[in-house]
Amino acid sequence: MATLVEKFFDDKDALTAELSATLEQSLRDGIKNDGRAVLMVSGGSSPAPAYKHLSTLDLDWQHVDVAMVDERWVDPSHEKSNEAFIKSTLLQNHGSAANFITMKNAAATAQQGAQECEAAYSELKSPYDVTILGMGPDGHTASLFPNADGLEHGLTTEQTVCAINAIQSDVTGSITERMTLTLNAIAQSKVVKLLISGEEKLAVYKQAKAGGDVNDMPLRAVLNHPSINIEVYWAP
């Protein structure tokens, strides 16, 4: 039975402290119980302090798999690369010993690179220990963007990843070609932590939670999924 737990914090420091502690425990439990832990990571400012804290912990990082939730189809050297962000925050210090699975490969397009990415992700332990999601002001999560080319496939396929070409907007910026976890893959997680900050995004979250067309606000597909255990973290 899916659960939805909302954790509202007075400030971002309190959110970071709670997130850091629960992520550490999930990784330790994964290693202890399964021999490996799998952490699915998103970019964004909200998880960055927790990633930096985790990187300093003396975990058995050689038994931790860190994999991307989504990625723009750009080289890792690009300023908008989520991979570069993860490498500069989580995969530092002790965390540098983790096994990192990237989404971006040498294929010219995300569509052409999807099969290779699927093969890489199929090697991961399932269910994943934690999947970290963010949310955009348009109601997207991961790279499941409203009315995007590939969205229907991403919400219905049993595959782990899919290519998405979003409709260009202020949210997407000029880079609309992405690779993302599918809804099915997000559901293959022991817990999903949805990170939200600010009053504007809180209003968007409440709108998504209230129901409606998943094509307009794909976050609804995650919130309404019958088997996803979600913890919502919010701070002003």
**For the chain, domain boundaries:** 3-107+122-138+186-234
Residue 81: which pLDDT band, with cuts at 50, 70 and 90? very high
Provide, rounded to the nearest whole percent, the portion of the chain with pLDDT above 90: 99
Q: Which are the contacts of 67, defined by CB distance < 8 A and separation ≥ 6?
A: 38, 39, 40, 41, 100, 101, 103, 121, 124
* 88 pLDDT more than 90: yes
Q: What is the pLDDT of residues 144-184, one digit of tens each?
A: 999 999 999 999 999 999 999 999 999 999 999 999 999 99
* 225 pLDDT more than 70: yes
Residue 1: which pLDDT band, with cuts at 50, 70 and 90? low
Question: Are 45 and 82 spatial neighbours (Cβ–Cβ below 8 Å)?
Answer: no
Q: How many CB atoms lie within 10 A of CB 7?
A: 15
Packed helices 12-34 and 48-55: angle between N→C axes, nearest 10 degrees:
50
Q: What is the pLDDT of residue 232?
A: 98
Q: What is the pLDDT of residue 71?
A: 98
Query: What is 112-159 written as a DSSP string?
Result: HHHHHHHHHHTTS-SSBSEEEE---TTS-BTTB-TT-BTHHHHHH-SS
Q: Could you tell me the pTM of the whole model?
A: 0.97
Q: Which are the contacts of 106, defined by CB distance < 8 A and separation ≥ 6?
A: 113
What is the average pLDDT value for the chain, to the nearest integer?
Answer: 97
Q: What is the pLDDT of residues 42-70, one digit of tens each?
A: 999 999 999 999 999 999 999 999 999 99
b (16+ CB within 10 A) / e for 191-219? bbbbbbbeeebbebbeebbeeeebeebbb
Closest by alpha carbon to 184, among 109, 126, 108? 126
CATH T-level assignment (fold) for domain 3-107+122-138+186-234 = Rossmann fold (3.40.50)
